[in-house]
A and B are shown apart, each in its own frame.
Chain A
């Protein structure tokens, strides 16, 4: 029911997203489905709105080093930029989703305290983000660290406003997601075919595959409203287009 479309960042940094306006204007927006886009700053936000975006997201990090390396500013500076974006978005009744990277570990700093994740999440939530997606950016988390992090964040933010975004770099994604579900989280980010490598570990896998997630949720009797077969078809399509084999085990077993 939610499909992240594109990112209004400079094509210098993310060449694959250079056609953001075209994609946004070209897609068929089905009723009942939401199409958020990433906007790192006010400039990106205005471009997104001009291209027809009706929902946006901002990306913060729970690690100073990661924030500096990734978006070239401190956590505090990034929060100030996001305040501007969120203020403008609220003015136009455009919902904003907040992302917190490195929620379970950082490629530069190593361990990240649950308290830091809570602090950054609370800041984004307080600004007006309707939901905070907590990202295990390099996939180092395990059920124990997921539980500790969520316990801390859930003291400040209701579980209904939280989501988890687990990377499968070390094969832990589904186990971590299961833990989050058991703790009351019911929004999960995933990527068809498990697209997206991990930029910090060459050769490592990235996002958890939507197909594998749906398989688990279906087995658990949880209603997602998503048709697994159609997702598999979409996965097959995009893997052929980017010329790579799927990262989804369900797809591997079924095709």
Chain B
């Protein structure tokens, strides 16, 4: 017996920090989580095939019927807020990144300039009584710069929060993050911005999205962005998957007894509908498992 017990496989080392991180908060999840459904915008925008306007409308209606509390409807790419409001938008979003190179490549300006533009949008929106949600990209890594410091993410987040965003969605744009990095980033951000104003937007490019989201929940985040059927590829990694699938997120939250208000069955129907319209397979594991039974 002793011989058997001594002949043990090499163990994982370095677990102390992981346990210290979360043992105290294990089981302390928020009672409710607000899911921000980005499939109709972030999702469709990154899909190869284009769908008709009526299909988009039907998708959004199906998502509403599934009980999703927030559904990102569309995107007005111009930095000016006027077209968004003119089109009847009741909410506006501003995008910044925690990476200089990404900001340059994506919007052709520096982080400082993009913050100034955001400030203008925010002032105008606030004057019109319109709420503004902020997005910070590359919070766990950048396709150009590689590692991004948590301090940088905190700095940028703090700035747009103080400009008046009611919520900031922290995006792991290329899905490179892992739970420890998520924890470090959130610790830094939570020093500057209350957790109630934070959301996470994890990409599943390396299969880490749900684990990263779990850590965020353990730290008190109660708003999560996801995309029905996991729509939306990753523009930086050919063939790679993109957003976290809302169905898989709802499955986990449901199992944890966390209230979302979402009807999984109806959500699955919305996913089936849009995948047929896009002529693609779902990226949701829950959908793959249930639709074949």
Contacts and interface: CB of A to CB of B under 8 A. Distances in A.
Interface string A214-255: 011111111111000000000000000000000011101111
B285 A215 contact: no
A169 B23 contact: no
B292 to A, nearest CB: 3
B7 to A, nearest CB: 6
Interface in B71-120: none
Interface in A172-217: 172, 174-175, 177-179, 181-184, 186-188, 198, 201-205, 209, 212, 215-217
A222 B251 contact: no
Interface stretch (A40-48, A68-76, A88-96, A116-124): A88-96
Interface stretch (B56-64, B129-137, B252-260): B252-260
Contact of B10 (A95, A169, A225, A248): A225
B180 A220 contact: yes
Contacts of A90: 1, 4
Interface in B155-209: 175, 177-181, 204-208
Interface stretch (B33-41, B232-240, B269-277): B232-240
Contact of B289 (A170, A184, A209): A170
Contacts of B265: none
Contacts of A188: 12
Most buried by B among A34, A248, A252: A252
A255 B238 CA distance: 8
A182 B19 contact: yes
Contacts, number: 174
A248 B205 CA distance: 10
A202 B292 contact: yes
Contacts of A175: 210-211, 213-214, 252
A220 B18 contact: yes
A220 B22 CA distance: 13
Contact of B206 (A198, A201, A250): A250
Given A34-B9, A220-B18, A222-B12, A171 B286 contact: yes
Given A182-B22, A253-B237, A142 B256 contact: yes
Given A178-B179, A222-B14, A144 B255 contact: yes
B99 to A, nearest CB: 18
Interface string A143-180: 11101000000000000100000001111101101110
Contact of B4 (A93, A139, A144, A219): A93
B207 A130 contact: no
A174 B208 contact: yes
B60 to A, nearest CB: 24
B210 A212 contact: no
A170 B175 CA distance: 19
A201 B289 contact: yes
Contact of B248 (A172, A182, A215, A253): A172
Nearest to A223: B13
A219 B208 contact: yes
A118 to B, nearest CB: 19
Interface of B: 1, 3-5, 7-15, 17-19, 21-23, 26-27, 175, 177-181, 204-208, 210-211, 213-215, 234, 237, 239-241, 245, 248, 251-252, 254-257, 284-286, 288-293
Given A179-B26, A201-B292, A222-B15, 14 more contacts: A32-B10, A142-B255, A144-B257, A160-B11, A169-B289, A171-B251, A171-B284, A172-B248, A216-B179, A216-B211, A220-B18, A220-B179, A221-B14, A223-B12
21 contacts: A142-B251, A170-B285, A171-B210, A171-B285, A172-B251, A174-B210, A178-B211, A178-B214, A183-B23, A186-B12, A203-B291, A209-B207, A212-B208, A216-B208, A217-B12, A222-B13, A225-B10, A250-B207, A253-B205, A253-B206, A255-B239
